[in-house]
Structure 1
Amino acid sequence: MEKHEFLELFEAATKAAKSASRGDVKSSCPAVSRCVEAIKRLREAPESLACELVVDRKYTQIGKSHGLFTEHKNPRIQSEGKILYSLWLRYLYATGRKQSSRPRDRTVVKNKKKLVEEKMVSTTTGDSNRDKVREILNKSLSKVAVEMKEGVVSCDSWSVAASVESAMFERLGSFEGTQKAKYRSILFNMGDSSNPDLRRKVMFGEISGERLVTMEKEEMASHKIQLQVQNIKEKARAREENRVKSMMMFQSDTMIMT
């Protein structure tokens, strides 16, 4: 598959997905079929070509459009979209592992440090509170490359942190405002050492900044905490059911006695 064919297929899939979301979302809808067919053909693209275009800044729409497919209201498009982007992520993980295994001399390390410093400057707002939130988010997101079994060198944690903070600021207002508790909840869960899944999903766009802001604390919590909460709720429900049964039995016995 050539580069132009890949781009044409992606454009066709995007247009079909948008068309399907506006009209009939039934699986038999022509737009749905066109979208699914294009996505399946995109999966056939060579690994090197997919990696090149997914991370190429000239084609940012490829990486940013994942939600159009993975969160589509049509189940077929959503399913195929998740398969496609999971495949591309595996490609990127593998690429990161290969790159991270290369020897790095002092010049490379120095240049990398300089790039990080430039990125920090380019993502500041001039507002000390906002910049502090971005620093905290970046610190949490930068753990992803370490936590992944296969290093991912293509992670741009500063850009993601800036994007997430912007969504938080737009939705919640200032950190020192009325939504300070929500800010603290998000920052805590993002940095929680037992919650790597949340960081990973935010880092790779599975959870957007806009979505993160609207999530309840139970949704953001680690899998372990979610299980504990679920267990508590189930026990509470069982106790309530037993209480109701006991009351009904008591009332029944009372009626018999009278």
Structure 2
Amino acid sequence: MQKQEFLELFEAATKAAKSAARGDGKSSSPAVSRCVDAMVRLKEAPESLARELVIDLKYPQIGASHSLLVDHKNPRIQSEAKLLYSLWLRYLYATGKKQSRPVLKKKKKKKLVEEEMVSTTTGDCNRDKVREILAKALSKVAVEMKEGVVSCDSWSVAASVESAMFERLGSFEGTQKAKYRSILFNMGDSRNPDLRRKVLLGEISGERLVSMEKEEMASNKIQMEVQNIKEKARVRDENRVKSMQMFQSDSSMIMT
């Protein structure tokens, strides 16, 4: 596959996704099929080509269309898009230091980030604040893994995750405020880089994140500590039961 074919397929996928969004959104519609077929073919692109175009700032539409595809109302498009973007992100992370993003002038980089922030806002101050916190947490992944990430990744994924949170939990100021705080705390916890990485890579979707218990979201270290505490408590309970049984047995013998 050549660069031109890749770009044409991506354009076809986004156009079909927009068409499907305007229609009834049925999985059997021609627009949905065109979109899914295009994304399936995009997954067949050589790793080097996909990596080059996803990183290249000349093609911002690839990052900008993230929310359009992964948050699409049609489940077929949404599912295929998550697989596609997850694959591309894995390509980026697999390259490590061998493939770094072009160095941008500070002013230009700031402008790109600001444009991405505007494109992912909702107009609701609480929702936008949640997205900002999530994006800040997700942006740590590039530093923690010492690898280049497309500038819009953290904002697009943050928008997708927040949308899932809002859909499942309602408003931040509602009855699920504690759940919101738990998710935001664990996403930003300096001791929990694995959770951020998995969310950014698509290994944990927004829907899955919302349904996770706080113990599941905790870092591997904390999970091990909790497991050790539970194990010690179990052993302590077993020993207490054995002691009681021995005491009862001794008492019976004395009475006899």
TM-score by length of 2: 0.67
Q: Where does residue 64 of structure 1 map in the other structure?
A: 82
Contact 2:113–2:152 (Cα < 8 Å) also in 1: no
Distance in 1 (alpha carbons) for counterparts of 2:110 and 2:151: 15
Could you say if the C-alpha distance between residues 224 and 200 of structure 1 is closer, same or farther in structure 2, counting changes exceeding 3 Å? same
Q: 2 CA distance for matches of 1:210 and 1:96?
A: 29
| Cα drift, residue 205 of structure 1 | 0.5
Q: Which amino acid aligns with 2:82?
A: K
- Kindly provide the amino acid, as one letter, of the partner of residue 91 in structure 2: Y
Same amino acid, percent of matched pairs: 77
In structure 1, the partner of 2:198 is 201
1:76 — aligned with what?
none
More moved, 90-99 vs 187-196: 90-99
Whole-angstrom distance in 1 between the partners of 2:244 and 2:149: 59
Residue in structure 2 matching 1:153, options 142, 150, 153: 150
Q: Do the aligned residues in 2 keep the contact of 1:100 with 1:153 (CA within 8 Å)?
A: no
Give the drift of 1:112: 2.7
Q: Is the 8 A contact 1:51 1:92 kept in 2?
A: yes
Structure 1 position 100, deviation (Å): 2.8
Unaligned runs of at least 5 residues, structure 1? 8-37, 68-83
CA shift at 1:232, angstroms?
0.8
Aligned counterpart for 1:222 among listed residues 219, 224, 228? 219
How far apart in 2 are the matches of 1:167 and 1:134? 11
Aligned to 1:10: none
Partner of 1:93: 93
Question: How far apart in 2 are the matches of 1:135 and 1:96?
Answer: 26
Counterpart of 1:65 in structure 2: which amino acid? L
Deviation at 1:254, TM superposition (A): 2.1
Q: How many residues matched?
A: 202
CA distance in 2, matches of 1:101, 1:160: 19
**Residues 169 and 222 (structure 1), Cα distance of their counterparts in 2 relative to 1, 3 Å cut:** same
2:129 aligned to which of 124, 127, 132? 132
Map 1:40-59 to 2 at 5 A.
46-51=46-51, 56=62
Whole-angstrom CA distance in 2 between matches of 1:139 and 1:214: 22
Q: Does structure 1 residue 142 correspond to structure 2 residue 139?
A: yes
CA contact (8 A) 1:134 1:162 kept: yes
Gaps of 5+ in 2: 10-39, 56-61, 70-76
Amino acid at match of 1:92: L
Helix, strand or coil at the partner of 1:150: coil
Q: Which amino acid aligns with 2:193?
A: P
Residue equivalent to 1:165 = 162
Higher RCO by CA contacts (8 Å cutoff, separation 6 or greater): 2
**What is the alpha-carbon distance in structure 1 between the residues aligned to residue 49 and residue 101 of structure 2?**
21
Whether contact under 8 Å (2:101, 2:148) holds in the other structure is no
The Cα shift of 1:127 comes to 1.1
Q: Report deviation, 1:51.
A: 3.3
1:244 maps to what in 2? 241
Q: More deviation in 47-56 or 220-229?
A: 47-56
Measure the CA separation in 1 of the matches of 2:103 and 2:170: 45
Q: Secondary structure at the match of 1:193?
A: coil
**Matched residues in 1 for 2:233 and 2:103: separation?**
56
CA distance in 1, matches of 2:174, 2:230: 32
Amino acid at match of 2:206: G
2:200 maps to a residue whose letter is M
The equivalent residue for 1:254 is 251
Cα displacement (A) at 1:98: 4.7
